[in-house]
Amino acid sequence: MTKHRYSFFLGCVIPNRLPQIEAATRLVAPKLDIELVEMKGASCCPAPGVIKSFDKDTWLAIVARNIALAEENGLDILVLCNGCYGTLIAGVHDLKDPETRARVNKILKGTGHQIKGTVTTKHLAEVLYMDIGMEAIEETIIRPIEARCAIHVGCHLLKPSDIRPWGVVEDFTVVDELVELLGATSVDYKLKDMCCGAGGGLRSAVLDVSLDMAREKFEAMTQAKVDCLVNVCNFCHLQFDVGQVQVNKEFGTDYQIPVLYYTQLLGLAQGFTPKEMGLDRHYISVEPFLEKIGMSV
């Protein structure tokens, strides 16, 4: 029997736009003794930047239903997306209040679900760093990755900090440590902590401002001469990979920074092939990075 079991929350973007991240995560998990238990019928988290911006009550009722699914599994939630994490962790927090819970349960009446407040939400970075631990991860590594990586942590992994487990907002090193554990180097770059620009409904409705933020980060990463960008949020990932093509078109630039989600990089270090990690499915070619580490798609 596996040691670490979680309710696996997929969200929207991973299963429906970036399934390579789902595939990579499903492959690396068993090596770490993680069992991903499906949350059957889970919906959009719903997205904090959009749905919560439009109607907080609807947002809270839908997130309550998702949390209820995890409670029915009897397992805490593991989430890969910072947006979903932000919604689920805020949902868990808001629904601790008995009055709020009663009000939301009234709305849920008729769906067959009720929320009790028995589970919590953990981001992949938290599960890896705190539940699995660096030593256990290190044991699974058979092929160290020697590359210069720009780490992008993303906003909602850390903020609002009062309902996060980290105790810090700036100088957060967990993801850097997880990347360096694989043999890579985390390279410092200007505006490392800055938002990718995708959240808050910007990527859908104010694309020029959204892309300008990403552009600034691409420029800084290029100056820092990195081999790739590593992220722990699929929405940031989408912004950096798909958005990089859009930035190049909009701004006449030619940024070529390969973008990897952490489990994809981890998978390579565990001996999976680039194809198994879905690296042939990216919008910006990952080939230069693979060449650097002595692999090819």
Residues of this chain that interact with other proteins (CB under 8 A) are 10, 12-13, 15-17, 19-20, 22-23, 26, 38-44, 46-58, 61-62, 65, 107-108, 110-113, 155-156, 158-161, 169, 194-195, 197-202, 204-206, 209-210, 212-213, 278, 281
- Minimum distance from residue 189 beta carbon to other proteins (Å): 15
* CA–CA–CA angle 275, 281, 283 (5° rounding): 140
CB within 8 A of 60, min separation 6: which ones?
91, 94, 95, 100, 104
The least CB distance from residue 71 to other proteins, in Å, is: 15
We find the least distance from the C-beta atom of residue 61 to other proteins, in angstroms, to be: 5
Q: Of 266, 273, 291, whose CA–CA distance to 32 is shortest?
A: 266
Asked if residues 41 and 83 have their Cβ atoms less than 8 Å apart, the reply is: no
* Shortest distance in whole angstroms from residue 294 CB to other proteins: 24
Q: How far is the CB of 108 from other proteins (least distance, A)?
A: 7
Closest to other proteins by CB, 2 or 54: 54
Phi-psi region at 186: left, alpha or beta (left = phi > 0; alpha = psi -120 to 50): beta
Residue owning tokens 């967990």: 174
Please state, in angstroms and rounded to a whole number, the distance separating the CA atoms of residues 134 and 175: 11
Cis, peptide link before residue 15, omega less than 30° from 0: no
Nearest residue (CB) to other proteins, 3 versus 109: 109
Smallest CA-to-CA distance from 260 within 290, 291, 236, 228 is with 228
Burial (CB < 10 A; 0-12, 13-18, 19+), residue 124, is buried
Question: Cβ 180 to other proteins, closest distance in Å?
Answer: 25
Q: Between residues 147 and 155, which has the closer beta carbon with respect to other proteins? A: 155
Cα–Cα dist 233/236, whole Å: 5
In the complex with other proteins, which residue's Cβ is closer, 186 or 210? 210
Nearer to other proteins (CB atom), residue 64 or residue 132: 64
Burial class (CB in 10 A: 0-12, 13-18, 19+), 153: buried
In whole angstroms, the minimum distance from the beta carbon of 273 to other proteins comes to 12
CB of 191 to other proteins, least distance (A): 8
64 or 137: whose CB is closer to other proteins? 64
The answer to whether 218 and 244 have CB atoms below 8 angstroms apart is yes
User: For residues 258 and 278, which CB has a smaller minimum distance to other proteins in the complex?
Assistant: 278
Phi, psi of 181 (to 5 degrees): -60, -30
Six-digit token string for 88: 């689920």
Q: Counting every residue, how long is the chain?
A: 297
| 212 vs 287, beta carbon nearer other proteins | 212
